[in-house]
Chains A and B, each alone.
Chain A
C-alpha cells in the first residue's frame, strides 16, 4: 500500500492502539497521513476496553471504540500491527527509522472466530484482561467485542502438544504453530507515543492490605467485576465468598500523590470512584458507600456529577486518607482506619469490600522505548518529531486523551510537511 500513495502524504507511526493511539491514527489518516499503529496487545482499545462505563455519562466505552474501529476498517491509510512492540527509533524529524518486533499470534488471517480451537484447547491461562480473577483457554479471544476479531494462542500457557488439539480442531487452517517473531522496520516522518498506562501495583501499598487482606480490590478490578464481560458477569460480589456487597469503602489516592509511590495525582481516580459508586448503588439499593479522600478532584463539569452523587444519602464522604487496612477478626470483612479530619477523630470502620483507587503509572515507568525521552516518573516527553500523547504524557481521562491525541496529530502532520 505505501508504495502506491503519493509522496506528499505524511507518514506517522503511532505506538499504542488504545484510545489515544486510535484517535491519533484516525485523525491523522482522515487528514491524509499514512498511519502505522503498533499495539502490544492482540486487540485494540487498550485500557478503555476494560472499563465498564465512562464517567460522567455512564456510557459504554465500546460505543466510541466501535465508531473508531469502523473508521479504521474503512480507511486504507491505516495499517495495524497488533502484538507488536517498538524496539528502537532512530533518525530525526521527517526521517525516522523504526524497528518493530511482531510477536507470533499463532493464528492467521483465516480465523473466523468460530471458537473451535478454544473448545479443543486443553490448557488454561490466567485472564490478565480480568486481572487474574478468572481464566481462559490458552487459545482465546481476548473479549467478545475484541477488534480484530481473531483468536490468539498464549504460547506461555500452551506448551508441548497443547497446540496440536487447536490445529486439528480448526477447519480453516487458521492455526499456525510455526509462527516466529518477526522484525519489521518502517520509515516515517514522525512518531506519536501513545503507550498509555498501567494500574499502579497495589501490592506495593503495604499498609493498604492488598494481596494480604481478603476483599480488598483495585478500582480496575472493580470495572471488571461490574462489567457484563467480567468474571462475575457484571454482578458485584465479594471475591472471597461471593457475598453481596452491602457496604463498601473507596480509598482515594491509593498510591497517588504519594512520594513513596506515584508522586503525581492520577487525575481519574476521584471521578472513577464516584462512577463506581453508581455501579454499587444501582445494583444494590440498600448498599452504603463511603469515600475516603484528601481532596476530591472533579474539575470542570465533573463537579456536577459529584454534586449529584452527594445527594445520595447512602453515600458518605470522609476527608482523611486511609492508612491502615486489616481483616476484621473472625470474618472476611475489612477494617479500615482513617482520621475523619472534620471531626478530628480516628475512625475504624468495617466494610464488606474495599476498593483501592489506584492510580495510573505511565507505561514508560516500567518499559522505555529507545529513542524516546522520559521524565523521571516515566512519562514520555515530546520533542520535534516524536510526540507524546494521552496517559503516556500526563495522567488524564478519556475525554482529555482524545483531545490531546488530536492535538498530537496536528504536530505530527507538521513534521511531515517540513520534510
Chain B
C-alpha cells in the first residue's frame, strides 16, 4: 500500500489555546512532508470525523495521524477500517500536563514522532499457517472428562489421554460424594458419584478419542500445530493438536511423612483416601482387627498449612471430612469427631457444614493436634492442645483418619513433555508449590506456555464441583487459542494483535538471547543455536526484539528502527539547563498511569518525552546508546512491578528490561557517560499520583550529573 499521510490536528480541549496549530501544521507539511494537514475544533465530533472520512473516501489519505487526545479515549470515533491510524496525545502530554510555555515544543515533538511512526509502520497482516483445532486433554478424571465433553459438544475433536486403564480418576476411588444444592442442604448428604455415567458419555462421544494407560511422551511444535506423541500399552502414536488442556489432577500427600500423627505406627491410622476404600467395602472397619469403628477421629490439616509439609491449604479437606463423618454415621451408634484448626467451607458450602454437623454423632472442635498415641486398650489417643475442650486433652478413638492434602501431578513431572528450548514443563511452578497455577489474578487460565490451559486440582486445590466449572473455562480458552492461531491472531493479552515477530535471519548471529529470554518459550533453536520462531506460541510482547543485539526482529507496526527514528526526532535543547529525557513506558500500566496524571492536569517535568512500548521487555539497548550519543541527557524506563508477585502482563518483560539495563553500563562507559543517566522504575497503574514526583526526581538526578557532553554534536 502506498501511504498517503494526513495529519489532523484537534484544537479543542485547550489545545488550540496552548499550541500554535498553524505552526504545527507547517512543520508537518514542510519538515515532515505530510501532504494533507487539517485542523478542527472538535475532531472527535461528527463534523471532525466526517472531515477525515471524506479525505479517506476521496483517496487523499490512508494513513492518518490524529493529533488530539490519548488513544485510550475516543477509540470508536477514530477507527478507520483499512487505514493505518496513529494517535498523538497532544492534549494529555503537551497541553494538560505541561505549562503553557512548554506546550508548543512538546506538541511538535509528539506530532513528529507520530508521523515517523506512521511512516515506519504498516498495516498488520496475520501469520497464516496450516492448523488443526483438535483439543488434547491430559487426564481422564472428572476435570479432564468435563473439559473433553465441553469441547466435543461445541463441535471440536478431542483427544483424551488417561494414565490409568480406566477413565474416572479419583472419583473412581470415592464411596460417595457431596451433593450439589442451590442453597440449604438436606438429606441425603452423601450421594453416588455417578462417575460411570460421565465415563460412558465420554466413551460414546464421537468427537472424543480416548487413550487409556497412556502418556504424553512428547509435545512438539506450537498451538495449532502441536505434534503430540502418545504412548499407550507399548505402542506410540502421533496426533496433531491445536491446543492443550492440562487436567492431570493430583495425588494425596505422602502420609508416611506423617509419622507424628501415627501413620505407619498404628494400622488404625488411615488417610482420608484410604477411608474411601474402606467405606466402599461396606461398614467402616478398623484395619487392625476388622471390627466396626465406632469412635472415629478426623485430624484436619494432616500436613497442610504446615511449612514442614504443605504450606498451603488444600481447600477441600474440611468438606471431605464432613462428608466422611456421614459415612461413619451410617452406623447410628458411631461418633465422628473432627479436629480442626479452622473449618473452611467457604461460600454456600457453609450450608453443607451446617447440615452435616447437625447430627448427634458428629462432633467438632478446634485445637492443635500434637500427636497420636496408643491408649493401651486397643484404641488410640489423639493428643490436642489449646483446644476448645481444654488446654490439653486426649481424645479416645478407635480409628483415626488423617485428612491429607492435595499434591499436584505437576510437582515432579512435567506431564506435557514439551520439546521446548526452555524445558518440558510449565515455568513458574515453584511460585505455586508445583501447581500449574496462574500468576494472574484477573486471568486465571494464563500460563506461560501459549495454548496450554490447566484445570482442576492440578491448577489449584479444589473439589469436584469446582473442578467441573474449572474444566469448562479451560475448554473455552483452549478453543479460543485454537481459533486465534487459525486466524493468525494473538491470544491474551494482545488478543486483537495480528502482527507477529518476523526476524531477518540472514543477520542472526545465533547469540541465543531471544531464545533464552522469551517469557513464553516461543523460540526454539537448533544445535548451532539458530533460533526458530514459533509465532503460534508468541504473545507479541516483543521481548525478542528488545533482546536482539542485531536488531533483526520486527513486527509490522513495531520495530527497533521505528522507535529509534522516533527518538531521533525528539528535540534536544541546546541550553545546558534544559535537559532532555526520554521516558519509555509500558503501554499496559505505566502509560495509562501517565495518561491519568495528565487527565487530572498533573504537571509532568517539561524535560521528558514519553514513548509507549508494547512491553518494557521490548526495550532494545541500541535506543539508549543512540539517544545518549546524540545528546539526550537521560533515559528512564517505567515498567511493571517484578519479582515474586510480578504484575507484568508478559510475565518477565519488566524484569528483563531491568536485567538488560545492568548491561548498558558497558556501552555508556564506552561513551564515557555516567550510568545514572539511565534508570528504571517500577510503577503500578494506580500510582498516577506518584508519577510527577518520580519523574521530577529522576530529572533532578540527571541535572545533578550535568548536561550530556554530546549535546550539540
Q: Which residue of B lies closest to A71 (CB)?
A: B495
Q: Is the CB of B685 within 8 A of A403?
A: no
Q: Which residue of A lies closest to B346 (CB)?
A: A267
Residues from chain B with a CB closer than 8 A to the CB of A65 are: 442
Q: Is the CB of A303 within 8 A of B305?
A: yes
Q: Is the CB of B484 within 8 A of A30?
A: yes
B-facing residues in A194-210 (Cβ within 8 Å): none
Binary interface profile of B, 63-87, with partner A (CB < 8 Å = 1, else 0)? Answer: 0000001001111110000000000
From B120-128, B467-475, B577-585, the one touching the partner chain is B467-475
Q: Which of B311, B348, B647 contacts A264 (CB 8 A)?
A: B348
Q: Which residue of B lies closest to A395 (CB)?
A: B347
From A52-60, A127-135, A217-225, A284-292, the one touching the partner chain is A52-60
Q: A31-B480, A295-B344, A407-B473 are in contact. Are A64 and B312 (CB under 8 A)?
A: no
Q: Is the CB of A403 within 8 A of B313?
A: no
Q: A57-B645, A228-B686, A299-B315 are in contact. Are A407 and B469 (CB under 8 A)?
A: yes
Q: Which residue of B lies closest to A58 (CB)?
A: B645
Q: A30-B495, A67-B442, A402-B443 are in contact. Are A417 and B461 (CB under 8 A)?
A: no
B619 contacts the other chain (Cβ, under 8 Å)? Answer: no
B-facing residues in A122-174 (Cβ within 8 Å): 144-145, 149, 171-173
- The size of the chain A interface, using a CB distance under 8 A, is 85
Q: Which of B72, B150, B313 contacts A300 (CB 8 A)?
A: B313
Q: Which of A26, A298, A300, A402 contacts B461 (CB 8 A)?
A: A300
Q: How far is the CA of A314 from the CA of B45 in the complex (A)?
A: 57
Binary interface profile of A, 377-394, with partner B (CB < 8 Å = 1, else 0)? Answer: 101010000000000001
A-facing residues in B427-455 (Cβ within 8 Å): 432-433, 435, 437, 440-445
Q: A75-B496, A406-B473 are in contact. Are A60 and B346 (CB under 8 A)?
A: no
A413 contacts the other chain (Cβ, under 8 Å)? Answer: yes
Q: Is the CB of B596 within 8 A of A144?
A: yes
Q: A30-B480, A376-B183, A410-B150 are in contact. Are A267 and B347 (CB under 8 A)?
A: yes
Binary interface profile of B, 380-409, with partner A (CB < 8 Å = 1, else 0)? Answer: 000000101000000000000000000000
Q: Is the CB of B442 within 8 A of A68?
A: yes
Interface size for chain B: under 10, 10 to 19, 20 to 34, or 35 or more residues?
Answer: 35 or more
Q: Which of A66, A377, A414 contacts B154 (CB 8 A)?
A: A414
Nearest chain B CB to A230 CB, angstrom units? 11
Residues from chain A with a CB closer than 8 A to the CB of B304 are: 303
Q: Which of A64, A172, A228, A234 contacts B42 (CB 8 A)?
A: A172
Q: Which residue of B lies closest to A54 (CB)?
A: B441
Nearest chain A CB to B50 CB, angstrom units? 14
B108 contacts the other chain (Cβ, under 8 Å)? Answer: no
Q: Is the CB of B444 within 8 A of A62?
A: no
Q: Is the CB of B347 within 8 A of A265?
A: yes
Q: Is the CB of A299 within 8 A of B461?
A: yes
A347 contacts the other chain (Cβ, under 8 Å)? Answer: no
Label chain B's interface by main secondary structure.
loop
Q: Which residue of B lies closest to A412 (CB)?
A: B476
Residues from chain B with a CB closer than 8 A to the CB of A173 are: 45
Q: How far is the CA of A240 from the CA of B79 in the complex (A)?
A: 50
Residues from chain A with a CB closer than 8 A to the CB of B313 are: 298-300, 302-303
B-facing residues in A77-102 (Cβ within 8 Å): none
Q: Is the CB of A396 within 8 A of B311?
A: no
Q: Is the CB of A64 within 8 A of B348?
A: no
Q: Is the CB of B684 within 8 A of A67?
A: no
B343 contacts the other chain (Cβ, under 8 Å)? Answer: yes
Q: Is the CB of B441 within 8 A of A399?
A: yes
A297 contacts the other chain (Cβ, under 8 Å)? Answer: yes
Q: Is the CB of B347 within 8 A of A394?
A: yes
Binary interface profile of B, 26-44, with partner A (CB < 8 Å = 1, else 0)? Answer: 0000000000000000101
Q: Which of A54, A113, A301, A405 contacts B312 (CB 8 A)?
A: A301
Q: How far is the CA of A16 from the CA of B432 in the complex (A)?
A: 32
B350 contacts the other chain (Cβ, under 8 Å)? Answer: yes
Q: Which of B314, B315, B346, B685 contacts A265 (CB 8 A)?
A: B346
Q: Please indicate which of the listed interface residues B442, B462, B687 has the most CB atoms of chain A within 10 Å of its own CB.
A: B442
Residues from chain A with a CB closer than 8 A to the CB of B350 are: 257, 263-265
Q: How far is the CA of A296 from the CA of B150 in the complex (A)?
A: 35
Q: Which of A233, A296, A342, A410 contacts B475 (CB 8 A)?
A: A410
Q: Is the CB of B342 within 8 A of A295?
A: yes
Q: Is the CB of B483 within 8 A of A60?
A: no
Q: Please indicate which of the listed interface residues B343, B349, B496, B685 has the most CB atoms of chain A within 10 Å of its own CB.
A: B685
Q: Please indicate which of the listed interface residues B13, B437, B443, B471 has the most CB atoms of chain A within 10 Å of its own CB.
A: B443
Q: Is the CB of A394 within 8 A of B685?
A: no
Q: A27-B476, A67-B442, A172-B45 are in contact. Are A32 and B495 (CB under 8 A)?
A: no
Residues from chain B with a CB closer than 8 A to the CB of A400 are: 444
Q: A59-B684, A299-B315 are in contact. Are A410 and B342 (CB under 8 A)?
A: no
Nearest chain A CB to B102 CB, angstrom units? 20
Q: Is the CB of B315 within 8 A of A300?
A: yes
Q: Is the CB of A411 within 8 A of B685?
A: no
Q: Which residue of A lies closest to B468 (CB)?
A: A407
Q: How far is the CA of A307 from the CA of B687 in the complex (A)?
A: 28
Q: Is the CB of A63 within 8 A of B473?
A: no
Q: How far is the CA of A60 from the CA of B13 in the complex (A)?
A: 29
B512 contacts the other chain (Cβ, under 8 Å)? Answer: no
A350 contacts the other chain (Cβ, under 8 Å)? Answer: no
Q: Is the CB of B73 within 8 A of A301?
A: no
Nearest chain A CB to B455 CB, angstrom units? 9
Residues from chain A with a CB closer than 8 A to the CB of B74 are: 112
Q: Which residue of B lies closest to A233 (CB)?
A: B689
Q: Is the CB of B441 within 8 A of A62?
A: no
A398 contacts the other chain (Cβ, under 8 Å)? Answer: yes
Q: Is the CB of B476 within 8 A of A413?
A: yes
Residues from chain A with a CB closer than 8 A to the CB of B349 are: 265
Nearest chain A CB to B223 CB, angstrom units? 14
Q: A57-B647, A303-B313 are in contact. Are A410 and B592 (CB under 8 A)?
A: no
Q: Which residue of B lies closest to A266 (CB)?
A: B347
A366 contacts the other chain (Cβ, under 8 Å)? Answer: no
Q: Which of A54, A59, A233, A411 contacts B641 (CB 8 A)?
A: A59
Q: Is the CB of B346 within 8 A of A297?
A: yes
A73 contacts the other chain (Cβ, under 8 Å)? Answer: yes
Q: How far is the CA of A233 from the CA of B689 in the complex (A)?
A: 10
Q: How far is the CA of A286 from the CA of B433 in the complex (A)?
A: 33
Q: A60-B684, A404-B473 are in contact. Are A74 and B496 (CB under 8 A)?
A: yes
Residues from chain B with a CB closer than 8 A to the CB of A319 are: 366
B493 contacts the other chain (Cβ, under 8 Å)? Answer: yes
Q: Is the CB of B344 within 8 A of A299?
A: yes
Residues from chain A with a CB closer than 8 A to the CB of B348 are: 264-265, 379, 394-395
B294 contacts the other chain (Cβ, under 8 Å)? Answer: no
A375 contacts the other chain (Cβ, under 8 Å)? Answer: yes
Q: How far is the CA of A407 from the CA of B469 in the complex (A)?
A: 6
B351 contacts the other chain (Cβ, under 8 Å)? Answer: yes
Q: A172-B12, A299-B461, A303-B313 are in contact. Are A63 and B444 (CB under 8 A)?
A: no
A-facing residues in B493-512 (Cβ within 8 Å): 493, 495-496
Residues from chain A with a CB closer than 8 A to the CB of B69 are: 112
Binary interface profile of B, 555-595, with partner A (CB < 8 Å = 1, else 0)? Answer: 00000000000000000000000000000000011001000
A183 contacts the other chain (Cβ, under 8 Å)? Answer: no
Residues from chain B with a CB closer than 8 A to the CB of A144 are: 596, 599-600, 688
Give the 5 A-B CB pairs with smallest separation, nearest first.
A64-B442, A406-B473, A407-B472, A60-B686, A407-B473
> Contacts A27-B480, A407-B471 given; 8 further ones with Cβ under 8 A?
A27-B476, A73-B75, A112-B69, A299-B344, A399-B441, A406-B472, A406-B477, A410-B154
A-B contact pairs, 15 of them (CB 8 A): A32-B483, A52-B686, A63-B647, A63-B685, A63-B686, A66-B588, A68-B442, A228-B686, A263-B350, A264-B350, A265-B348, A297-B342, A301-B437, A406-B472, A410-B154
Binding site for A on B (CB under 8 A): 12-14, 42, 44-45, 69, 72-77, 150, 153-155, 182-184, 304-305, 307, 311-315, 340, 342-351, 366, 386, 388, 432-433, 435, 437, 440-445, 460-462, 469-477, 479-480, 483-484, 493, 495-496, 588-589, 592, 596, 599-600, 641, 645, 647, 649, 684-689
